[in-house]
Amino acid sequence: MLDNAQIRLVQIAVRQAGLRTATFDGRYRMLLGQYLQPNGEPVTSCKELNNAQIDDLLAICESMGWRMPGKPEDFYREKVNKKYDVASFGQQAAIKHLAGDLGIVGEHLSRFIMHQTNNAADDRAMLSPLQAYKVIEGLKALVIKNTGIKFKSLNEISEHYKGAKDGSENKNQI
């Protein structure tokens, strides 16, 4: 059971993140419905959340712009990542963008992740930081193999593929 300070914190965070306004709280209710109570029913009020669920909800609010005063800007996201040994948001985003640039999506990405992790995971959200690193390095190796160019950063890879899609720079599409 949450105390009043935790409930106030959640309410402030969801408002400042833009999930809830004075006239519309549909996004907030939809987010709460993703969490389950011990009896298996969806959560309908923040009072029904446990501490781990509150940390996760606050991490989502952080990713949408809310900041906990006096804490680093990624305090809750890092707290959730460390607690559950999950790949960081940045690592997951890098996998998504690299795979998208290469045209590896859906089931193909799942199989690639399974191959890179020796069948330990099949989705980027399930990866540990070390597994995510291995997947990113595997995707970077594919980019180098397919383009013949050794890029210095992920941004260079992204720019290369944007130019190739626009037809303005490179014609090396996969």
pLDDT in tens, the chain (174 residues): 678 999 999 999 999 999 998 899 888 998 898 888 888 889 999 999 888 889 889 999 998 899 999 999 889 888 877 777 777 777 888 898 899 888 998 899 999 999 999 988 888 878 888 899 999 999 999 988 888 888 877 778 878 877 766 655 444 444
The SS3 of residue 43 is coil
CB atoms within 10 A of CB 57: 26
Which residue type, as a one-letter code, is found at position 13? A
Domain ranges for the chain? 4-84, 89-166
